[in-house]
Structure 1
């Protein structure tokens, strides 16, 4: 299959890149923090697989991939408003949202604030994080990115083994995840992350079809996913054994979970 062509649109002065492929109901894919379209979807064959059934659109979030990377505080709320602006640009009345990690947070916020624009919501390695939780982590992370270009505070939280990562392991992970990234732009994302939090009432009011797929050993997002599954009365949840925050994307059955859910709600 030929590679999808890069396209761009203006989102309140920020140029954002997206790709699209396939026909049918629109599905927007939203990657995680430090990732991009390729690292989030294309390299795992998920983009091609989903485009066999749907009109799939993958977005490079602001501050990531080939999208603009402002160093000012234009993240937070703007990151989920970008999704609505993408739909406006494509003249889509509504779309299904599939988000991994940070992309899941963006999907959930869009669902809560723009319910008429969302047909269904599927969260991967994500849940109902609250704005008052994790503030110290994201503050430490923004400072670490600004001063040293390092993700170490976040890496320690994402590490699923009981034994803390060594400096050598942290350095290797940081080099991998920062490749192609702008530390000052990511620091801006980190500073605005508290705006992606939700309340119990927000989640309880969701009427959109909603599913969560979470790794059993996901040290970062498991508690948020459990909270979402508890607070959203009609949410369905899939717990994947032997899987952490990163390895979920490697599971061959993940594509089947996504396709099955989207076909069911289409």
Structure 2
């Protein structure tokens, strides 16, 4: 599988199909791997990868700290994911691309659009995360990790994540760097040797910056309101993907196209066709 070094971090990616570039920010929260487009929730049902590659060059990648991509312990922000995505486009020789984000992948999509509007042909925001329950659960997940670190130390985190294959969502004690720890002994050794108090401050700053509101995280609303990029918003309706978060993005993104269909109406028969109709209209 191809990889490229971006900002000093290895990025694993795949290309599927032919046509205009479609950069795909994977769903899955802090488990954003290529496979999530095929085996997670609504995405498993609507089978986008059976349809989109017939018309577009789908650029798939494991987000940093996830899957086969590398990571680095730092105060990770949405901008760090933008750096990775923009670097991947540069590596592949694409000046512009359509962007699609699923779940938490919507946050770096909107941030990318704010930082590089000249490079974005259109945006699709599918099941954007957000809502009060999402913020509460996200902070609780990080709090469980920090409590485990404070009580047991960082070597215990390494031992824990190497004892199973569960991700940050299913076992928050392991924290957001579990995949890099498993993949690299050097990373694991460096991680275990870090100063615990400095590490905890870094993680605290990270979660406060990334999950900072009771609606859709990512770019600031005032920034979104300056954009003039064709956008399709597809709402979710659960504790992680509040419909109110999708409506918030509609409010902030003037002229956006809101597909007002509940999740149960989003099927393989309806969703890929709706997305393709939107993308083709931007040609």
Corresponding residue number in structure 1 for 2:20: 25
Whether 1:38 aligns to 2:35 is yes
- How far apart, in 2, do the equivalents of 1:255 and 1:191 lie? 35
User: Can you give the 5+ residue segments of structure 1 that lack an aligned partner in the other structure?
Assistant: 1-5, 150-173
The structure that has the greater radius of gyration is 2
Query: Deviation string for 1:217-257 (max 9, x for gaps)?
Result: 334331121112123221010122254xxx96x65422222
- 1:165-244 equivalent positions in 2, closer than 5 A: 178=170, 183-185=175-177, 190=207, 192-194=209-211, 197-215=218-236, 217-219=237-239, 220-243=241-264
Using the size of structure 1 for normalisation, the TM-score is: 0.73
Shift of residue 208 of structure 1?
Answer: 1.0
- How far apart, in 2, do the equivalents of 1:175 and 1:194 lie? 19
Shift of residue 193 of structure 1?
Answer: 1.6
SS in structure 2 opposite 1:24?
A: coil
- 1:71-90 equivalent positions in 2, closer than 5 A: 71-90=73-92
**Alpha-carbon spacing, 1:75–1:41, altered in 2? closer, same or farther (3 Å):** farther
Corresponding residue number in structure 1 for 2:108: 106
Shift of residue 71 of structure 1?
Answer: 3.6
Q: Is the 8 A contact 2:233 2:246 kept in 1?
A: yes
Corresponding residue number in structure 2 for 1:49: 51
Query: Deviation string for 1:123-146 (max 9, x for gaps)?
Result: 00117x69xx97665433212234
Shift of residue 59 of structure 1?
Answer: 1.3
Structure with higher helix content = 2
Whether 1:59 aligns to 2:61 is yes
**Alpha-carbon spacing, 1:49–1:84, altered in 2? closer, same or farther (3 Å):** same
Corresponding residue number in structure 2 for 1:140: 140
- How far apart, in 1, do the equivalents of 2:281 and 2:39 lie? 23
The total of aligned residue pairs comes to: 229
SS in structure 2 opposite 1:89?
A: helix
- 1:122-141 equivalent positions in 2, closer than 5 A: 122-126=124-128, 137-141=137-141
Q: Is the 8 A contact 1:22 1:51 kept in 2?
A: yes
SS in structure 2 opposite 1:108?
A: helix
Shift of residue 175 of structure 1?
Answer: 7.6
- How far apart, in 2, do the equivalents of 1:234 and 1:55 lie? 26
**Alpha-carbon spacing, 1:223–1:71, altered in 2? closer, same or farther (3 Å):** same
Q: Is the 8 A contact 2:96 2:118 kept in 1?
A: yes
Q: Is the 8 A contact 1:213 1:238 kept in 2?
A: yes
Instruction: Please provide the CA RMSD for this pair.
Output: 3.3
Corresponding residue number in structure 1 for 2:182: none
Corresponding residue number in structure 1 for 2:155: none
Corresponding residue number in structure 1 for 2:276: 259
Query: Deviation string for 1:151-186 (max 9, x for gaps)?
Result: xxxxxxxxxxxxxxxxxxxxxxx889549x963427
Query: Deviation string for 1:88-126 (max 9, x for gaps)?
Result: 111100100010111111111101110011110000011
